[in-house]
Amino acid sequence: MRELHFGVMYKVDHVVDSIFNSITWILSYLGCNQVWLVDCGDVEPIIDIVGNREVGGVLLTHAHFDHIYGLPELLRRYHCCKYYTNESDRQTLADAKKEHVFL
């Protein structure tokens, strides 16, 4: 556990993804039923850590496959989950969705 400003406690977990050895970061706040992710690889270990909490969102650092390959499965399991990225990668993901390549 680490302390943010004003005494708020938070926890940072991570999953080393099995395919590319990239990392998914899982951020949670003590007493809050919501977590946030940074990138999204292997979904099963993420779910093991998240448990019954909700995923508030996913911040995608960039849209390389090793940072996003778990996103479709995560969005199927957590329907209200949103993802955030930069404008260029947002367009890349939107184009892939139109072509039924991803998401």
Q: What is the residue type of 50?
A: V
At residue 98 the predicted structure's pLDDT band, cuts being 50, 70 and 90, is: low
- Cα separation, 18 vs 4, whole angstroms: 31
Number of domains in the chain: 1
73 belongs to a structural domain: yes
76 belongs to a structural domain: yes
Please tell me the predicted confidence (pLDDT) of residue 48.
96
47: left (phi over 0), alpha (psi -120 to 50) or beta: alpha
67 belongs to a structural domain: yes
Asked if residues 38 and 15 have their Cβ atoms less than 8 Å apart, the reply is no
What is the CATH classification number for the domain harbouring 73?
Answer: 3.60.15.10
92 belongs to a structural domain: yes
Q: Which of 91, 73, 6 is nearest to 37 (CA)?
A: 73
Supply the pTM of this predicted model: 0.82
103 belongs to a structural domain: no
44 belongs to a structural domain: yes
- Tens digit of pLDDT for each residue in 34-60? 999 999 999 999 999 999 999 999 999
